[in-house]
Chains A and B, each alone.
Chain A
Amino acid sequence: MLNTNDILETIRMITDENLDVRTVTMGISLLDCADPDARKACEKIYRKITTRASRLVEVVDSISTNYGVPIVNKRISVTPIALLLAACPDADPVWFAKTLDAAAKQVGVNFIGGYSALVQKGFSAGDRALIESIPEALACTDFVCSSVNIGSTKAGINMDAVKMMGPVVRRAAELTADNNCLGAAKLVVFCNAVEDNPFMAGAFHGPGEADCCVHVGVSGPGAVRAALAKLPKDAPLQDVAELVKRIAFKITRMGQMVGELAARELNVPFGIVDLSLAPTPAIGDSVARVLEEMGLDHCGGFGTTAALALLNDAVKKGGVMASGSVGGLSGAFIPVSEDEGMIEAAELGTLTLNKLEAMTAVCSVGLDMIVIPGDTSPEIISAMIADEAAIGMVNSKTTAVRVIPAIGKKMGERLDFGGLLGYGPVMPVNTTSPAVFVNRGGRIPAPMQSLKN
Chain B
Amino acid sequence: MKAVITVLGKDQIGILARVSGLCAEMGVNVEEVTQNILGGTFAMIMLVDVSKCTVEYPQLVKRLEESGREHGMDIHITRQELFEAMHRI
Interface residues of A (CB under 8 A from B): 1-4, 6-8, 10-11, 14-15, 62, 65-69, 250, 253-254, 256-257
Contact = CB atoms under 8 A, between A and B. Distances in A.
20 contacts: A2-B83, A4-B36, A4-B45, A6-B83, A6-B87, A7-B4, A8-B6, A8-B43, A8-B45, A10-B78, A10-B83, A14-B76, A67-B78, A67-B79, A67-B81, A68-B79, A68-B82, A253-B86, A257-B82, A257-B85
Interface in B27-57: 32, 34, 36, 43, 45, 47, 57
Contacts of A253: 85-86
Given A10-B86, A65-B61, A1 B47 contact: yes
Nearest to A12: B8
A67 B58 contact: no
A2 B84 contact: yes
Q: State the majority secondary structure of interface residues on A.
A: helix
A1 B6 contact: no
Given A7-B4, A11-B6, A15-B74, A254 B85 contact: yes
Given A2-B47, A7-B45, A250-B87, 18 more contacts: A1-B47, A2-B80, A2-B84, A2-B87, A3-B87, A4-B36, A4-B45, A7-B83, A8-B6, A8-B8, A10-B86, A65-B58, A66-B79, A67-B79, A67-B82, A69-B78, A253-B85, A253-B86
A2 B82 CA distance: 11
Contacts of A14: 76
Nearest to B38: A8
A24 to B, nearest CB: 15
B73 interface: no
Contacts of B6: 7-8, 11
A6 B6 CA distance: 12
Contacts of B79: 66-68
A6 B86 contact: yes
Contacts of A8: 6, 8, 43, 45
A284 B15 CA distance: 31
B23 interface: no
Q: Which of B36, B80, B81, B87 has the most CB of A within 10 A?
A: B87
Interface string B60-89: 010000000000001011111111111100
A386 B78 CA distance: 48
Nearest to B79: A67
Contact of A11 (B36, B58, B61, B78): B78
Nearest to A255: B85
List the 6 closest pairs (A to B, CB-CB), nearest first.
A68-B78, A6-B87, A257-B85, A250-B86, A253-B85, A67-B79
A256 B85 contact: yes
A233 B6 CA distance: 32
A138 B74 CA distance: 42
A15 B6 CA distance: 12
B31 to A, nearest CB: 9
A7 B2 CA distance: 14
Most chain B CB within 10 A, of A11, A62, A250, A254, is at: A11
A449 to B, nearest CB: 35
A385 to B, nearest CB: 39
Contacts of A62: 58
Contacts of B45: 1, 4, 7-8
Contacts of B81: 67, 257
Contacts of B47: 1-2
Nearest to B74: A15
Nearest to B4: A7
Contacts of B74: 15
Contact of A68 (B32, B43, B76, B84): B76
Contacts of A3: 87
Contacts of B61: 65, 68
Nearest to A11: B6
A3 B83 CA distance: 9
A29 B70 CA distance: 48
A10 B82 contact: yes
B28 to A, nearest CB: 14
A67 B4 CA distance: 10
B4 to A, nearest CB: 6
B57 A65 contact: yes
A292 to B, nearest CB: 26
Contacts of A2: 4, 47, 80, 83-84, 87
Contacts of A257: 81-82, 85
A191 B69 CA distance: 49
Contact of A254 (B8, B32, B77, B86): B86
B88 to A, nearest CB: 8
A2 B81 CA distance: 11
A68 B77 CA distance: 7
Nearest to A19: B86
Contacts of A6: 83, 86-87
Contacts of B8: 8, 11
